Amino acid sequence: MIVGTLRLELHVAESRSLKAKRRVVKSLKDRIRTRFNASVAEIDALDLWQRAVLGVAVVSNDRRHLNEILSKIERLAGSDPRAALISSELRIP
Domain ranges of the chain: 2-91
Superfamily in which the 2-91 domain is placed by CATH: TT1725-like (3.30.70.1120)
Cβ neighbours around 42 below 10 Å, total: 18
Residues 7-65: tens digit of each pLDDT: 999 999 999 999 999 999 999 999 999 999 999 999 999 999 999 999 999 999 999 99
Per the CB < 8 A criterion, the answer to whether 69 and 60 are in contact is yes
Beta strands in 1-93 (DSSP E): 2-11, 39-44, 51-60, 84-91
Q: Return d(Cα 44, Cα 35) in angstroms, integer.
A: 23
pTM of the model: 0.91
Residues 58-86: tens digit of each pLDDT: 999 999 999 999 999 999 999 999 999 99
pLDDT, residue 41, reads: 98
